[in-house]
């Protein structure tokens, strides 16, 4: 099995883990239990992972980190917007 396929599967599962939080915030418009600091730190870490992915040219990491960065950005936006 191509190792890149395993990377895409892992990336899909990991990125999907954030979606229930986005959905819950979107539906309830409440972010009381969401830590802004935690998601800012995640944003910074994922940004660095994306940079690293681009440097080593790994498609699975590039896609995963790009999508995860968008999802985490949405959570940060919602946290600020629905305060």
**Pick the residue with more confidence: 74 or 4?**
74
Angstrom distance (rounded) from CA 6 to CA 22: 25
Tell me the whole-structure pTM to 2 decimals: 0.86
Residue from 68, 79, 78 nearest 18 by CA = 68
Angstrom distance (rounded) from CA 25 to CA 1: 38
Q: Please state the length of the chain.
A: 83
Assess contact for 28 and 79: CB atoms under 8 A: no
* The pLDDT of residue 23 is above 90: yes
* The pLDDT of residue 20 is above 90: yes
What pLDDT score does 2 carry?
86
Q: Which domains does the chain have, with CATH numbers?
A: 3-81 (1.20.1280.290)
Predicted confidence (pLDDT) per residue in 28-43, tens digit: 999 999 999 999 999 9
What pLDDT score does 24 carry?
94
């Amino acid at each position: 099995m191509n190792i890149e396929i395993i990377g895409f599967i892992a990336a899909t599962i990991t990125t999907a883990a954030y979606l229930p939080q986005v959905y819950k915030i979107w539906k309830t418009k409440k972010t009381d239990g969401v830590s802004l600091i935690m998601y800012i730190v995640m944003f910074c870490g994922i940004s660095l992972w994306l940079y690293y992915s681009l440097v080593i040219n790994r498609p699975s990491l590039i896609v995963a980190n790009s999508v995860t960065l968008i999802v985490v950005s949405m959570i940060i936006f919602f946290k600020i917007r629905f305060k």
